[in-house]
Amino acid sequence: MKYYVRWEVQEGNDAKEVILKQLEHIEKSGKMKHGGVLLGVRGGYFIFDIEKPSELLYLLGTAIFDNCHVESYPVVSYKELGEFLKEDLKKAA
């Protein structure tokens, strides 16, 4: 399942070294399909392809959870949404 994760360093936090180390771990994991820096904030985003939500704990680790505000959302493709809507329309008919 794909997850969108947005992270932003908490105000007043200067944890550059531990966050950088965790970002390297994330890149090596092979679970990140896309990611980058959000230029308007001190943070970034990831698109992960993982089997279960708890994998986010190991990918982000305490380096990010302790030093950043994190939001995560499951991602559904437009194709999957279209299939759902077609099914829903059939049920309504």
Question: What pLDDT was estimated at residue 10?
Answer: 95
* 79, pLDDT greater than 80: yes
- The string of pLDDT tens digits covering residues 2-34 is 999 999 999 988 899 999 999 999 999 999 999
* 93, pLDDT greater than 80: no
Determine contact, residues 48/33, Cβ cutoff 8 Å: yes
Domain count, the chain: 1
User: Does residue 63 sit in helix, strand or coil?
Assistant: helix
State the residue range of the domain holding 35: 2-92
The closest alpha carbon to 60, from 2, 71, 75, 85, belongs to 71
CATH number of the CATH domain containing 88: 3.30.70.1060
